Amino acid sequence: MGDQETVLFIDTDPGVDDALAIMMAHVFGRVVGLGIAAGNVGLAHTTANALKLLDVIGSEAPVFRGAPQTLVRPAHGAAHVHGADGFGDTGYLPTSRGSDAEHASLALLRLSHAHPCALTIVVLGPLTNLALALSLDPALPTRVRRLVVMGGAVTGQGNTSATAEFNVGFDPEAAHVVFSRWGEFQLVDWELCMRHALPEGRLESWLAHGGARPAFFAAISRKIRAFSHDQGRAGLVLADALAMAVALQPELVLASRRRSIRVELDGFLTRGATVVDWNGRGGQPPNALIAEAIDQQGFERMVAESLGLANG
C-alpha cells in the first residue's frame, strides 16, 4: 500500500481495546468518521465512550450513532470484561460534545461517495451497521479500498461461547450479510489476537509513563487487565488494536491464507461460529484473507506510539 495515507472509517463499540485502536488510527492514519455499534455495552455508553476518548486525544472526527440493537435476535454484551460502562467504570467526566445526527450506516454510504475507492473500513464491533449499509447499497464494496474485520475464531475456539467470537456471536446475521455479500475482506480473528497478546509487564511499564493517553488508557483498562490476569493470560489481548495495526500497516502480516468463511446461524451449540473451508470442500470462492501471523515487534511499536511513547 506504499506511503499512501490511510483514510479510515471505523465502526466500533468502545470498549477498551477499541479505545487503543482508535488512538492508533489517529497516530498512523486519517479518521473521517466513527460509526458506533452496540456490543460490548449498549449504544448510549459506547457513544459516550467514543466522544470522551476523542476529547482525550484531541480529535474532531465526527461520531455517528448506529443501530441500538442486533438485526434479529437479542444478544448479551461484555460488561463483565470491559466494565458496566464499557470503559472500566472509572466514573470519567463525560464530554459536552454530542454525536452527529446522521445514522452511522448512512454516514458510511455518504463518506464512501466523498472518498471514492479511498476509504479503509475497519470494523471493531458487531457488524450490524455495516450489514445495514450493505443492504441499503449493495454497490458499497466497489467504492471502498479495503475492509478489515476484527471477528471470528477460525478454528472454532471462541471467546463468547465455546465456538463463537464476540463480534460475530453478538450479531451473527449481520456478520452473515457482510461475509456473504462483501467480496474479499481482511480478517483478524480472535485466535490470531490470542497469539499476539501484549506481555503484561511491558504494557504496565508503558502505562506508568506520564501523559494524557497512557493515564486514560491505564484507568479504563484496569478492570480488563485484572480480568485477563485472573484468566491466567500472560498478556493482554488487544484484539481491536491488532486489527487496526493490520489496517494501517498491512506489511505487518507475515502469513495469511485466502479461504471461504461462513457464519453458522442455526447451530444449537455453534450459533455465531465462523466456519472456514480450509480444504476447499464446499466449492465456494474465497471471501476472506485470513491473517495467520503478525510481526509482533512491529505491532508493539505501534501500540507504544499510539500511547505517545516514541520507542516503547
- Helix, coil or strand: residue 72: coil
Q: State the minimum distance, in angstroms, from the CB of residue 41 to Ca ion.
A: 10
Residues 272 and 269: their CA atoms lie apart, in Å, by 9
Q: Does 87 bind ligand BDR (CB under 6 A)?
A: no
Alpha-carbon separation of residue 219 from 154, 226, 234, 292 (angstroms):
32, 12, 20, 31
Selected from 87, 92, 185, 190, the binder of ligand BDR by CB under 6 A is: 190
Selected from 20, 75, 109, 124, the binder of Ca ion by CB under 5 A is: 124
- Count CB neighbours of 95 within 10 A: 14
The closest alpha carbon to 67, from 141, 152, 164, 133, belongs to: 133
Residues 157 and 283: their CA atoms lie apart, in Å, by 24
Site stretch for ligand BDR (CB under 6 A), options 60-68, 159-167, 199-207, 219-227: 159-167
- Whichever of 48 and 239 has its CB closer to ligand BDR, that residue is 239
Q: How buried is 49 (Cβ within 10 angstroms: 0-12 exposed, 13-18 middle, 19+ buried)? A: buried
- Whichever of 151 and 260 has its CB closer to Ca ion, that residue is 151
Q: State the minimum distance, in angstroms, from the CB of residue 75 to ligand BDR.
A: 12
Q: State the minimum distance, in angstroms, from the CB of residue 24 to ligand BDR.
A: 14
Site stretch for ligand BDR (CB under 6 A), options 103-111, 160-168, 210-218, 288-296: 160-168
Question: Cell for 75?
Answer: 444478544
Selected from 11, 55, 85, 165, the binder of ligand BDR by CB under 6 A is: 165
Q: Which residues are at the interface with ligand BDR (CB under 6 A)?
A: 15, 17-18, 40, 78, 81, 124-125, 150, 159, 165-167, 190, 239-240
